[in-house]
Structure 1
Amino acid sequence: MTATRGEAPGEAWTIRRVLAWAVDDLKKRGFSSARLDAELLLCHVLRIDRIKLLVDAERPLDKAELARYRELFLRRRSGEPIAYLLGVREFYGRPFRVDRRVLVPRPDTETLVEVALARTRHLDLAARVLDLCTGSGCVAISLARERPTTCVLGLDLSPDAATVARENVVRLGATNCAIGVSDLFSALEGRSAVFDLITANPPYIPEAEIDTLMVDVRGFEPRLALSGGADGLVILRRIAEEAPRHLAPGGVLAVEVMAGQAPDVSALFAAQGFSAIEIQKDLGGHERIVSGVWGQSPARPGGAPIEETVWAGKP
């Protein structure tokens, strides 16, 4: 940060001046959320809320604060998601810890939580829930907190993502939620665990389209959480095919999909025998969630209840 034309070199870098400089710079580079980004970063550095930015607009920053703000600002200018810089992203009314090990939770994914809750209102209080591709744990933990008498298990292929999710379980007091590492259902094979609800926000972007995404997505978020294979349906296809072995009769499967994929995923559900298949739109009006009911009882070995088979082992 250097003095601009018409400003004295020794002029203090106040909150007002820092924000004016940062917003102007981001706008020139095409950032649509320039002011919000600049303010959130400064609030993070100063540990104050946005109201205080207005109240204390003439407060000068010290050298350490300026250095920290400049570091974060330059990272944002390079495209790094604001959520990674702040280390937190709000989802379903709760602050989730996030970093480059996990996908940034999106508002559209809150629709998955809403659909899951709406379609399982009839279940008893001790319902069993499985969240695949759990990432930061935002869906699993939201369901656990909204339904505190349920037992929720979140699984992710990435050990790093599972670590972040476990931290969020502790941070947010989701004592009825466990997190494990698994390639979809693989950790459950050979166990008698069945679920009343299975949710998933899996990788669904076609591989060839990833390099066309915004830089803050393609350059920073984990590719493992983005790529759905050649047609974007590789993981969704597996989930639809394998879920019936792990659903109780009348259990619900609900998945998030890319805009335009809902008809194909609905067909996958129907081919596997799901009924009452529904498609819900997200906040932007895109078909985002596909859900269905498993009405048949597939052959399953007998055994201990889910609490003993899954929670005790903490896969």
Structure 2
Amino acid sequence: MPEMLTVLDVVQRSAAFLESKGVESARLNAEWLIASALGMDRMKLYLQFDRPLKESELADMRSKVARRAKREPLQYILGSTPFHELDLKVDRRALIPRPETEQLVELALGSFGENDVAYRIVDLGTGSGAIALALAFALPRAELFAVDASREALELAQENALGCGLQNRVTFILSDWFSDFDVEGEFDLIVSNPPYLTEEEMGSAEPEVKDYEPHSALFAEKKGLSDLEKIVQGSFERLRAGGVLWLETGVKHRQPLADLCQSLGYASVEGVDDWSGRPRFVKAVK
């Protein structure tokens, strides 16, 4: 008679296997994958460690663990990820939203004094829609425009808007930055997490990043500055006086972007570090 495996048996074996493949936080990853296969929250897994597993359940677990062992991102396997106060669908059409980008949302929200004002906001390179939808959720009267050059990414963002009940709050626009963005009027906020990795950074990235996430959303020419420069230049004429541009950037981009902002006539520029102390964000005020 074949050995009857329990939930704990499979968690331990999966964790050891994932660790052997170089997966960080292997035990945590194993727990998430097995909970997903069982259709339950990870914390409930602890109450069922002694539960024997059926072969049909084991097959789904093996499939998920095998995908993670090939370094496919955990979020793509699970199919969703939490972001700010939302739960977003994620797949290979767009980048996985990071905690640092949640900080960008917090910084952007800090630009406003009141939440019930009809601010006009643009999210450039929206990807999964994370930034635009988080801002729409937090600012109930704001007018949001989410822009991306990838039709597939925009479709994912629209699916997330529908899933979050925010489909009537955001206008989605297919455009390479501002090239096909023909919305009239000025804006209170333009925010973007654009591609900014250099060729060197792409080469040294973890397999989860370089082998699975869309390169067009990661890599930029001119040592990672090409898209950032386009955004800084295009935003200046579209921001109202006092309007704010918030950017997520590469580690060496703060000074070049500050110089560019000053040459264009922005009233002020400042850099902000992320929670780990990395120079990640730039704020420019018109």
Same structural fold, with TM-score higher than 0.5 when normalized by the shorter chain: yes
Provide the TM-score with structure 2 as the length reference: 0.95
How far apart are 1:149 and its partner, in Å? 0.5
Contact residue 113 and residue 143 of structure 1 kept, 8 A: yes
Structure 1: give runs of 5+ residues left out of the alignment: 1-8, 295-315
Alignment partners' CA distance in 2, 1:100 and 1:83: 10
Does the aligned pair in 2 maintain the 1:208–1:230 contact within 8 Å?
no
Residue number in structure 1 paired with 2:28? 36
Q: Which residue of 2 aligns with 1:22?
A: 14
1:289-309 CA-to-partner distances (Å, cap 9, x unmatched) read 101111xxxxxxxxxxxxxxx
Could you say which residue in structure 2 is the equivalent of 1:76?
A: 68
| Pairing 1:277–2:259 present | no
Deviation of 1:178 (Å): 1.9
**Local SS of the residue matching 1:119:** coil
Determine if the alignment matches structure 1 residue 56 to structure 2 residue 48.
Answer: yes
Structure 2 residue 154 is matched with structure 1 residue 183: no
Provide the residue aligned with 1:143 in structure 2. 135
How many angstroms apart in 1 are the aligned matches of 2:99 and 2:115?
26
Match for residue 259 of structure 1 among 238, 241, 251: 251
Calculate the aligned-residue CA RMSD, in Å: 1.5
Q: Using the alignment, how far apart are the partners of 1:172 and 1:127 within structure 2?
A: 20
Q: 2: CA distance between counterparts of 1:194 and 1:61?
A: 59
8 A Cα contact 2:198 2:220, kept in partner: yes
Q: Which moved more, 1:46-55 or 1:136-145?
A: 46-55
The gaps in structure 2 that reach 5 residues or longer are: none
- Which SS does the other structure have where 1:152 is aligned? strand
Q: Residue 203 of structure 1 is aligned with which of 195, 203, 208?
A: 195
Larger radius of gyration between Structure 1 and Structure 2: 1
CA contact (8 A) 1:120 1:252 kept: no
| Distance in 2 (alpha carbons) for counterparts of 1:45 and 1:216 | 21
Task: Report the Cα distance in structure 2 between the residues aligned to 1:178 and 1:65, rounded to whole angstroms.
Answer: 41
2:237 aligned with 1:245, yes or no?
yes
Assess if the C-alpha contact under 8 Å between 2:173 and 2:181 holds in 1: no
Deviations for 1:151-204, whole angstroms, at most 9, x for unmatched residues? 111000100000000011111122321222110012224x52321110000000
Q: What residue is the counterpart of 2:94 in the other structure?
A: 102
Residue 122 (structure 1) shift: 6.2
Moved more, 168-177 or 105-114: 168-177
Find the partner of 2:284 among 288, 292, 302. Answer: 292
Q: Could you say if the C-alpha distance between residues 117 and 238 of structure 1 is closer, same or farther in structure 2, counting changes exceeding 3 Å?
A: same
- Is the CA contact 1:253–1:293 (under 8 Å) kept in the aligned structure 2? yes
CA contact (8 A) 1:131 1:155 kept: yes
TM-fit CA distance, 1:31? 2.1
**1:61-92 superposed Cα distances (whole Å, 9 cap, x missing partner):** 21221111111111100010000000101111
Q: In the alignment, which residue of structure 2 is the partner of 1:90?
A: 82
The number of aligned residues is 285
User: How far is the alpha carbon of 1:276 from its aligned partner?
Assistant: 2.5
> What CA deviation, in whole Å up to 9, does each residue of 1:86-116 have, x standing for no partner?
0101111311110000001000111211111
Question: TM-score with structure 1 length normalisation?
Answer: 0.87
Decide whether the 8 Å contact of 1:207 with 1:230 is kept in 2: no
* Residue in 2 that maps onto 1:216: 208
- Given that 1:111 and 1:289 are in contact with CA atoms closer than 8 Å, whether structure 2 keeps it comes out as no
Paired with 2:30 and 2:211, the residues of 1 have a C-alpha distance of 21
- SS class of match (1:188): coil
Structure 1 CA distance, aligned partners of 2:87 and 2:206? 24
Amino acid in the other structure paired with 2:71: G
Query: Are 1:227 and 2:222 matched, yes or no?
Result: no
Runs of 4+ in 1 over 3 A off after TM superposition: none
Q: Give SS of 1:252's match.
A: strand
Matched, 1:13 2:5: yes
